Chains A and B, each alone.
Chain A
Amino acid sequence: MLDNTPSPFADNVSPAPAASSGCSGGSGASMAASATTRSTTPFPIRIADPDALVTLNTQTRARMPGTQWKSLEEYESDPEFLARVQKEFAPGAEWWIDQASRREFLKTMGASLALAGLTGCTIRQPVEKIIPYVQIPENMIPGKAQFYATAMPLPGGAIGLLAESHEGRPTKIEGNPDHPTSLGATCTFSQASVLGLYDPHRLQVVHHHNRPAVWSEFTGALEGRLTLAQKNQGAGFALLTEEIISPTLQRQLRAFLQANPQAKWYQYAAWESSNATQAARQVFGAPVTARYHLPNADIIFSVGADFLAEGPSHVRLVREFSARRIVNADATANMNRLYVAETTPSQTGAKADHWLRLKPDDVAAMLIAVAAELGLDVGGEARTAKVKEAHQNWITALAGDLKAARGKSVVIVGAHMPSEIHALAHLVNQELGNIGQTVTLVDPINVVPDQTPGTISDLTQAMEAGQVQSLVILGGDPAFTAPANLKFGEKLKSVPFTAYYALQVDSTAQLVQWRLPATHYLEDWSDARAEDGSVSIIQPLIRPLYDGRSVHELLAILSGQKDVTGFNLVQETWLPGFGNDAKKLWEKALHDGVIANSAFQPATPAVKGEAAAALKQAFAEAPAESKEFTVVFRTDPSLLDGRYATNGWLQELPQPLSKLTWGNAAWIGYSTAKDLGLKSGDHINIQRGDVTVSIPVWIQFGQPSQVITLQMGHGRTVEGFKTVGVDVYPLRSAANEWVTTAQVKPTGKRTVLVTTQPHHNMEGRHLVRSGTLKEFQDKPNKPGFMTVGLHHGGGDEHEGGEHGAAEHGTEGHGAEQGGHAHDAAHGHEAVASKRDVTPHHGHPAVIPEGENQNPHYPEGGPTFYEDWPRVGNQWGMTINLGACTGCNACVVACQSENNIPVVGPEQVIRGREMHWLRIDSYFEGDPDTPDVYHQPVSCMHCEHAPCEPVCPVGATTHSSEGINEMTYNRCIGTRYCSNNCPYKVRRFNFLALNDPVWQLPVLQMAQNPNVTVRSRGVMEKCNYCVQRISAVRIQSKMENREIRDGEIRTACQSACSAGAITFGNVDDPDSAVRKAKEHPLNYGLLTDLNTRPRTSYLAAVRNPNPALVSTAAEDHA
């Protein structure tokens, strides 16, 4: 049987959630379908007595020394096993040992067996017995996936999700269309959280000083401490938590602190910045949170805010932003305009219409200057002199735009910007009448009523003073993430009783007495607020894999409650408020994934009169000039603050812009690198006070000069995981959390950086097409930028294109750029000139206009071959480059859906990453201020696929529905297809990447049963999620109807918060994808090769301010 035909097993597959995304153009028809697939009763039912299982296990252990429990202990203490575990890399990836000796091989074998043993005993897999259910769980049809609404707590707020479950095994995350933050889409973290559940590095059982223990031992020890503390109303007892967004936990904590008034609660998270809250207090007198609403925002000014990639609301903001970037086929549009002033080039900056990359102080100065221009009396002349000189036009134009869009504009400030800048933004938004329109203020979601947490500095002071007798830490790995100057780890050792509740054995766990295994959010009951305050009940998809307890149960233990389950605790929080209909409302909340009307109402605090005066005073001083490098700290786009360090999907996820995987590097600008004589991979020493960190550099085009950006979270030690990357936390101090200064010296050492895209120069090829709205409106049928660089474009169009290129903010000075580019082109990763300047690159030749051979492939040339017969649905896809922000959610979604293995850094260096879908980034223009383009590329499903005729065994073929399919079983692995693929989207299993050594047994639980796991030596690639197509086809046949447009959503499409991906039947004249293909901005990649791709792109359109176009050159001054 061929792989590409659905197996009988796959025939039973239920449709994907088919939830309408709410993205523009999507039909709402499938909402009902999504609702029916969600069950109200979760399948995994928590046993009543959580201790029973532990007790049982303990007894088993005692009685049967020969059982696997013994092997666990044995292996836990066996140094050879520990050594082997230490070598283990990350989920799904292991350093591939080239010189593996026989001994090594045997060791590997032994350890695999041991791990298999561990799996067997600790993971409560569904027992495989071939008997039918006696009592079948509701809606359970074996082989049919079920979807449960749940939510994932993320920094700043939860995101609502639908988790796909196969026979009680969660395998895939989808967005929840009913959830205000998700709107049907997801972020990378939530997509990758499935792998986090099955992470083999998880802490499995309670440990007391490295020795496996059980919960009752801990509770026993704790009781003693608690009674001791209770004598003094809890004095000496301290809790350190991250921010708390779970109402139940807030309730529990409040109760605990009220019962023990002398006990202390401290809060710390590395990603968190208190600046915004501080500013809100200053301006409004209340710690309100600003929420932004972009549907009506015509002008957006981002001051160092990467709002399209960071923060709890970024999924929603991307959707709202992208909806306003769509241009209709008749060239009408209601486009917003985005101005970005920031330091580190970000995904938001890459989408900007006008983008300035400045030193942090100058970014702040830009807002002050704009505020002054708007007539706010905040002073700050000393600060703004520099930026005014360089960017006066920009400031004037922006201020003009903001004024004109009163009430329809928004100023967004990055969380890590200083509090006075946040305060100023509030004043500007107030001045512009935006508050209540595009900015709403809501109460913070992370507050425990009547309680104020201490900071981590307070805690270390208390520890130093000996005031802390017992300390319970709830996650966060503070020994790793705490500001280095606090020396948290050292002080932690002096506390008499310490317990750490976490998913992994990390730096903090190494230092405490008790390690308590946490539960993953997919394992246990909880609740969480989204950034707007709406509450989702987190319902578990599976019983805890290991001996973890939910955080609520831990708090219950602290409060002396026994035998309480997380489920009861969560219900206790909500059921009383639900009133008479409690059960019904509870079930509805579970089903919808959000408790109705739980969002906070916007607060309407008045601006304090003295706020402006206070700011004026703050801005009076000019910032100190420093000759040292400015060092900017950012959370990592994949690892956040390091919490996802062991997640192979995220480690191997190419970072936006740099495309670095497996490790971090210090970003430095092109000119700075040239001055210092550095190449990417050269090490520098960053010295700040007595701390020196040696780190390789990455030359990031667009990074301002003399500024270094460091991504936090790398280099985190987790037991069993081979540390990757460089820990930059030591450079961070409590006083300078986000920006500091340091000395930089090249060391002469070099390492190879692991990147998936070493070349970021488009080489004058017309791969990403982009232009301005004006150009499009001037020539709605054939805008110049669609043909620029093509042979038959004609002089007129050529001109148009050149003009267009120049119009876009940063492409101002052609000649100078050309020079730069040539210099750069000889370096490996070069940014060349803008398209066409490089003389030795020709232009893609295309078929003369008017020679449209085939209505479906407007760019197809003549051919000897007959067209494929078009029977049934003809699948096709469009990707709107104007909407895509390069966020990577689609890449992880694809990896999760299609069982794509993680290959590890060694293999990525060799160019063997397996992602079916990649996002290319190209930089154009001046290497110091380039434009950035993102282009998601996966199999194009060419009508004339170059891969098909060269396969000697016919393993890759054209399906009747137009999909270029891989028959894995038939593939012998000549790799000819990949060579002949001009898009290079085919991926080859160079090694046995799915063998147990690579993919530990527990990880296999994360795999989608409807997708073949590919063997070594086999080619693979995107197949438009053919399993999802089959599922919907089966469903439609059962219902005796046609497949509805939008009913099939590929994994990438459903993850995309920008709604950039449209998929459907291109032969259906009413389908969304057909409409997109008829759009004048639609184009195919490399169509001069006559490949006739089924996936096509919509050119990116920007909306620059006409006033700035003529003076674009000034942007670089």
Chain B
Amino acid sequence: MPAREPGAVEPSAERAAALDRRMRERLEESLRYLVSEVSGPLDLDPALLEGFCERLRSGPVPPLAFGAYFELVLALENGDWEAARELLQEIAAAPNHAGGPVVLDLADPASDRGASRYHRLIDTDPNEPFQVLPPPPELARACRERISEAFELLGRGDPELAREIRGLLREIVLAVGPIRPGSMTFDGASSFMLWGAIVLNPRMFQSALEVAQALAHESGHNLLFGLCVDGSLVENDDEPRYTSPLRRDLRPMDGIVHATFVTARMHRSLLQLRASGALSGVEDAEAGRLLADHVRNFAMGWEIVDRDARLTERGKHVMADARRHMQAHAGA
């Protein structure tokens, strides 16, 4: 999927739909390869996934179906054939997604299979482990209202972004982190392995504008996942770590590129919301503060990308577009 039109920073619902189609095509190709390799050793019907592949071609599937695929690969790598067999059968039974994005409370990972997968596929960094937990009902209820208000705000002030987010996301999962001293928590999270899902922490958002920014941010990670479905954004080895504009811990270059790009995406959305007149006076003042933050953070991220990133052609295009946006609107 070329990232040419209309530019990586400008939202496009049409591009979101194309990326989702391409991601499903790649999933089908990979699943067909895996089935050809394992149906014999696992005594499985080689046509086991035909029905699911038909559904993949017809429309979106749940993020957890993508997650099951990644867990299948890891099970095969580990030689855990029983788990692989169960995962293949689960994938075979996965339905199309009804449409969305659907806002879900994370269930208890200790007792719910889907929540457990969300937890495993979000908590993937051995250097920075963190927990996701079910949200308190009151917090979740308030956050749902803010999400609804945020979509209304984006619909009035940045409608193409609202449409793009609806095209990229199937599920918005509400989850909190532990608050005991010494534990780590998060504002939001996304994972290539959970294509179409984002996790938001309802403790962190006090207004519709903040949620609108979080939606632009986390869906921006999904956009990049889609844009690199046929190849990475960077050629850097993943071991060296760099200072991130949005994280206190050091991150691989792929993470720096992501953080820098989504900063430009949030900046663009705020400018659009301001220009549309959709913001209240209070929101406009908050937007002004956030815009200054984004300018500073982008400059910090860009300095590292410019100095140390070995961008692929796709990565160059994506980041040049982000840079153009910031230079044009903020002199960054």
Is B a genuine binding partner of A? no
Residues of B in contact with A (beta carbons under 8 Å apart):
none
Residues of A in contact with B (beta carbons under 8 Å apart):
none
